[in-house]
């Protein structure tokens, strides 16, 4: 299991699940930084998605976990950040492949979509599965190229 510290964030819709995941990670001996939300009072998910994605994007944290009702809003926010590869996973197969093929550095969960037990199993699989590298690294390098020169320029270059 990857034991590097994790930053976690959620909105009100996933507060209870976030608490369970924090407890699970702590029980495994993993340091967790809890970016909130800290209750079920309604908040705006981008505020928490931005905190975690920024920390992963800048390298302050190697890994993050984000949870909202569907996981969709958090995914949209997180994947706007350079060097963030956020994967919304609702099953173990996707969780494993998000690591093996995509080297996902943020796991996103939908607290209203999956049950707590499955969510914890997904977290476990995600932390235990290494990146395959090889041909997949070549593909991820193209993500970084978008960050470097911008999407329009990257597209124009491919057409040339
Ligand atoms: C909150 O009601 C809900 O919109 C949010 O948790 C999330 O599902 C957004 O994508």
Domain range for residue 105?
A: 6-134
In a domain, 144, yes or no: no
Identify whether the C-beta of residue 102 lies closer than 8 Å to the C-beta of residue 137.
no
In a domain, 145, yes or no: no
- Tell me the residue length of the chain: 160
Digit-coded pLDDT (tens) for 44-91 = 999 999 999 999 999 999 999 999 999 999 999 999 999 999 999 999
In a domain, 118, yes or no: yes
In a domain, 157, yes or no: no
- For the question of residue 155 being annotated catalytic, the response is no
In a domain, 120, yes or no: yes
Q: Please give the full DSSP string across 89-118, using - where no structure is assigned.
A: -SSHHHHHHHHHTT--SEEEEETTTS-HHH
- For the question of residue 12 being annotated catalytic, the response is no
In a domain, 150, yes or no: no
Q: How much is the pLDDT for 152?
A: 67
Find the CATH number of the domain harbouring 82. 3.40.1400.10
Digit-coded pLDDT (tens) for 122-145 = 999 999 999 999 999 999 998 888
For a mutational test of ligand 1's pocket, the pick from 48, 49, 73, i.e. the residue with the most ligand atoms closer than 8 A to its C-beta, is 73
Number of compact structural domains in the chain: 1
Digit-coded pLDDT (tens) for 14-35 = 999 999 999 999 999 999 999 9
By alpha-carbon position, which residue is closest to atom 6 of ligand 1?
Answer: 69
State the pairing for strand pair 106-110/63-68. Answer: parallel
């Amino acid at each position: 299991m990857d034991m590097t510290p994790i930053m976690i964030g959620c909105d009100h819709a996933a507060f209870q699940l976030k608490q369970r995941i924090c407890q699970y990670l702590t029980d495994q001996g993993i340091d967790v930084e809890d970016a909130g939300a800290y209750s079920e009072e309604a908040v705006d998910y981008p505020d928490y998605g931005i905190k975690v994605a920024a920390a992963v994007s800048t390298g302050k944290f190697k890994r993050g976990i984000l949870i909202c009702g569907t996981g969709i809003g958090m995914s949209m926010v997180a994947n706007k950040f350079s060097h963030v590869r956020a994967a919304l996973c609702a099953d173990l197969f996707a969780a494993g492949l998000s690591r093996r093929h995509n080297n996902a550095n943020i796991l996103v969960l939908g607290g209203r979509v999956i049950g707590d037990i499955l969510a914890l199993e997904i977290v476990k699989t995600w932390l235990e599965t290494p990146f395959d590298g090889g041909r997949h690294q070549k593909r991820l390098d193209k993500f970084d190229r978008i960050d470097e020169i911008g999407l329009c320029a990257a597209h124009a270059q491919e057409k040339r």
